[in-house]
Amino acid sequence: MPEKKWMPRWFYQLASPKWCYQITGKLLPIFAWLALLCLGVGIVWALAFAPPDYQQGNSFRIMYLHVPAAILAQSCYMLMAIAGAIGLIWKMKVADMAAFAAAPIGASMAVLALATGAIWGKPTWGSWWVWDARLTSMLILLFLYLGVMALYAAMENPNTAAKAASILSLVGLVNIPIIKYSVEWWNTLHQPATFKLTEKPAMPVEMWLPLLIMVIGFYCFFAVSLMMRLRNEILRREKRASWVRELIVSQ
């Protein structure tokens, strides 16, 4: 098929469950160590050495969990939707499996972001929960994750389930810009972003550096859990393939 040459080679290699299983097996320990290192350093630095805020005192430190969890909940949704789209368009099985693997991780990140946000909101704003645009759209994100997971659970044929869930997650993608810009469009109680790609962060280095490390650590942790779930899923769905049998026999 000559018309397919415009995609890079690794893209097609990824489509092979076997190749994907092998490469994630090599990458997994690297990311696991990175995650351990970043989260360890980040937590100790954030909780013990970063200076307290001039207004919020020590309670602002929950940011070091809240912000990475919230960022990850959104990027995980993006990943799920994009993987789903790839699965729909190129009929790539591994992409379907990755979308399936991502859903519960994203949902738990959304729960973590909402829970830490509530704990942070009480001392700062004076309320556990406010029905403003940012919080509501984040809650909708959690519901979308739960809907996608329910759809996976309801369908017995994994291929049909993957296609259906991909369509649903693509539809739900409209929520992501709403979450991102809700603090700018409406006058929400939630603060605008402290980190912006285009500007200097609105906090000193000794505060944002541990945050950055935590964000990287969360991403590495996400990669690790995604790869672990993906490898499981590959083995489960490819259980009839000869290479899986050989793998199991050899162990």
Partner 1 sequence: MVEETNIATISMSQQFSAALKRDLLLSFRRKSDLFNPLIFFLMVATLFPLGVSPEPTFLADVAPGVVWVAALLATLLSLDGMFRSDYDDGTLEQMLLSPQPLMIVCLAKTLAHWMTTGLPLTLMSPLLGVMLFLPSDAMLGLVLSLLIGTPTLSFIGAIGAALTVGLKKGGILISLLVLPLYIPVLIFGSGAVQAAVAGLPIGGYLALLGAGLALGFVLAPLATSAAVRVSVSG
Partner 2 sequence: MNPKRKQRLALVLLLVVGVSVAVGLALYALNQNINLFYSPTQIVGGEAPKDTRIRAGGMVVEGSVKRDQESLRVQFAMTDYAEEVLVEYTGILPDLFREGQGIVAQGAIDGNGVFQAVEVLAKHDENYMPPEVAEALEAAGKMPKPAEEVFNK
Question: Which residue, 36 or 85, is less far from partner 1 as judged by CB?
Answer: 85
Question: Which residue, 40 or 192, is less far from partner 2 as judged by CB?
Answer: 192
Contact between 25 and partner 2 by CB under 8 A: the answer reads no
Question: Which residue, 55 or 198, is less far from partner 2 as judged by CB?
Answer: 55
Contact between 38 and partner 1 by CB under 8 A: the answer reads no
Which of partner 1, partner 2, none does 205 bind, CB closer than 5 to 8 A by kind?
Answer: none
Contact between 123 and partner 2 by CB under 8 A: the answer reads yes
Question: Which residue, 184 or 246, is less far from partner 2 as judged by CB?
Answer: 184
Whether the CB-CB separation of 116 and 73 falls below 8 Å is answered with no
Contact between 127 and partner 2 by CB under 8 A: the answer reads yes
Name the residues that contact partner 1, by CB under 8 A. Answer: 88, 136, 140, 143-144, 146-147, 150-151, 154-155, 157, 159-160, 163-164, 167-168, 170-172, 174-175, 178
